[in-house]
Structure 1
Amino acid sequence: MTIDGDGLYLVAGLALLLGAVLPRLLRRYAVSAPIAFIGAGMLLGPAVDRTHLSPIAEPTLTKHLAALTVIVALMGVGLAIDRPINLFTWTVTWRLLFVAMPAGIAALTGVGWLLGLAPATALLVAAVLAPTDPVLASDVQVDGPTTGEDAELDEDDEVRFALTSEAGLNDGLAAPFVYLAVFIATKSFSPWQWVAWDVVGKAVIGVAIGFGAGWLLGRMTFSAPARSLRLSESREPVLALAMTLGVYGLTQVLHGYGFIAVFVAALTLRSVESKHEFHGELHDFIGELEHILTWGVLLLLGAAVTAGLLEPLTLTGAAVGVLLVVVVRPLLGWLSLARSGLRRSERWAISAFGVRGVSSVYYLAATGAHFRDELPWLWATLGFTVILSVVLHGIAATPVMRFLERRS
């Protein structure tokens, strides 16, 4: 039986009920909610009209749904971080972003080339899969903002902080490498233009808009001259969503990196009256919205699998996914954190938990039109890698984090 039309409301209701119940049921077990949602999507797939479930058939819808999910998650993780951004206190983050990620892209590109992929395709796969995900890695991220008059900021352990801050920034920092693959494929590559505009210019625009918008809204929220004008007095947490959409939209219109802008805006807003309890309300609201969007994306991914998403997968694609998740990220992450002052167990945990997910879906949906011949294979490889990452990291997250908490 195929459900369509009004029946989809029933499916959506059951999915939301499942989303409300599953996290509590799985809390004591080594199975994360994302694993269950992908499995539920695979079970629901045969019961719904699968004509439009393929990301190849609906690239625009896929791109915008993935982008919305990512920016909401970025706002959430930005509001959750207690530690102000700093050159020295964020040392582990900078190592992961500027050493581990570029090295990982280069290594995976080389692997793809050795396995027979065209240079542009190999680079695209490596770049699309480079960002760790702020959406699916909630089990290994900081819990939320520390607020209240007696709160001590920066209570987050180094593992959770590193994984959260890395996921907040590398979604945007992966973009230049994705566009480099497109330029090579379309034979429009200009080294100086790429460095000046795609590496530097767009990132600067994102940081500037994020900082400016975060500072302005922070003042409006907490420090407006008249008490009646302070947004914190209204206790309307929808401000977080308004800020997310507005900052991302403005940055994209001005051709900057919207993912960077949203995360920087959240950090900047968080730094204004950092102990104010309204930060907790903003984070809770955006967290609930993030959960709903995440459930939807994962259910659709599971349904797409039953619709044939993985059928074009080859041994080459499977090898790329396995090597990234099991070898490339853990090894290069470990090396990048040498002499960082972390314990060996913390270095391995940070290196291993580079969850791949929704941001990769966004980048492939946004650029896949330039790789039409390889597109089914690209989506199959991405789907396989994301599911592998979600399963492996989802099973390992709870016991590993409990072990680290006992050690500390």
Structure 2
Amino acid sequence: MGVVGGPVSPGPPTGAIITPTDPVVTTPIVTGSLAEERIPERVRHNLSAESGLNDGLGYLFVMLPVLLLTKPGQAWHEMLVKVLLWEVLGAMLFGVIAGFALAKLFVWSKNVGLMEESSYLGFFVPFGLLILGAGKLLGTDAILAVIVGAAVFGQVIPERDEEQEDKIDDAVARFFLLPVFILLGLALPIGEWAALGWIPPVALVAAVLLRRIITLWALRPLITSLHDVPETTFLSWFGPVGISALFYATLAERHTGNHEIFIYVTLAITLSVLIHGLSTAPLSAWLKRREPERKQKHETG
């Protein structure tokens, strides 16, 4: 685990950092005409909901090993009072209030004729930035606040506007995805990766893939009514690591002073983007081919 004040192992924080499914990298998998044609709606919605929730809640599991490494005597007290009660639950409460208030403002603006559909983008982007910035100023988990706020917002506004919001969300996510990964590519520590040898990349590939495959199939008895075997296979494969892991890596490095966390996490992100990116089209096509078989089993069952 390392010595307080000295170098610490990247292991515990890194494991927590690469566990959550990233909602930004998941967007190209579950949105667009190709995804709508090949992937059942319930699979796309469940994958989106899961990635959004565990991305924010992952903060708990990242901060626990960080606090145990840096403040072992105060770790559990700070974890309960500061991280859980304020940064997580406080973020959720703030997200609910902000999302509800902004949704009411959105509906009122439309009803009195102050907003057209062409103005939606001008509302939704500041909406996210406002909650993100305010959440950071309050000292909460701002990412979780945005996710909760967006979920509440979507429940309050009319269904037609919610569909428009989804389209804008997808467009904004795709717009920011490319520049973020360009910047990440420029900062990749390729030379430090080469110095690791072959064992860390193999271990990270196993961690990125098996963490999800083992979990989903262990939970298979609980989701039989929701997803059949092909759908569970698809869901168990796609757990991409991305932008949120990069954020948590910089957070953990800042708290611990351990640069190795950034090296391992960026390698995991790169491997995940390659593996999941290259396998999206063939696996979604495979899932589409299983559709007649699933319908036949459903009708005979």
Per the shorter chain, which TM-score range? 0.7 to 0.9
Q: Does 1:303 align with 2:192?
A: no
Pair 1:406-2:289 in alignment: yes
Residue identity opposite 2:138 in structure 1: L
Q: How far apart in 2 are the matches of 1:172 and 1:250?
A: 16
From 60, 70, 84, give the equivalent of 1:199: 84
Structure 1 residue ranges without an equivalent (≥5): 1-111, 145-154
Relative to 1, partners in 2 of residues 1:202 and 1:294: Cα closer, same or farther, differing over 3 Å? same
C-alpha displacement at 1:156, in angstroms? 6.0
Instruction: Return the match for 1:392 from 268, 275, 278.
Output: 275
Distance 2:21 2:268 in 1: 12
Aligned position for 1:260: 144
Match of 2:30 among 117, 130, 141: 141
Q: 1:235 to 1:300 in 2, by over 3 A?
A: closer
SS where residue 185 of structure 1 aligns? helix
In the alignment, which of 10, 13, 17 is matched to residue 124 of structure 1? 13
Output one character per residue of 1:320-378: Cα deviation in whole Å (capped at 9) or x when no partner. 31221232221122212333122111112111100001111111112203443x41x32
Matched, 1:178 2:67: no
What is the identity, as a one-letter code, of the residue corresponding to 1:330?
Answer: I
Instruction: Report the 3-state secondary structure (helix = DSSP H, G, I; strand = E; otherwise coil) of the residue aligned with 1:270.
Output: helix
TM-score, normalised via structure 1 length: 0.61
Distance 1:214 1:314, change over 3 A: same
Cα-to-partner distance string for 1:205-235 (whole Å, 9 max, x where unaligned): 1221111111111111114696135x45773
Q: In 2, are the aligned partners of 1:120 and 1:184 still within 8 Å (CA)? A: no
Structure 2, unaligned stretches of length 5 or more?
Answer: 34-38, 292-301
Normalized against structure 2, the TM-score is what?
0.81
Q: Is the 8 A contact 1:142 1:161 kept in 2?
A: no
> 2 CA distance for matches of 1:343 and 1:165?
19
Matched, 1:274 2:274: no
Question: Contact 2:99 / 2:149 at 8 angstroms: preserved in 1?
Answer: yes
Change (3 A) 1:163 1:233: closer
1:381 aligns with 2:264: yes
**Equivalent residue of 2:239, what SS?**
coil
Give the fraction of aligned pairs with identical amino acids, expressed as a percent: 23
- Amino acid in the other structure paired with 1:126: G
Cα pair 2:24 2:177 within 8 Å, conserved: yes
- Would you say the 8 A contact 1:312–1:380 is kept in 2? no
1:362 aligns with 2:251: no
Q: Which of the residues 102, 107, 110 maps onto 1:222? A: 107
Shift of 1:241: 0.9
Q: Which residue is 1:335 aligned to? A: 218
Q: What is the rounded CA distance, in whole Å, between the counterparts of 2:273 and 2:8 in structure 1?
A: 28
What is the root-mean-square deviation in Å for CA atoms of aligned residues?
Answer: 2.9
Contact 1:222 1:273 (C-alpha < 8 Å) held by counterparts? yes
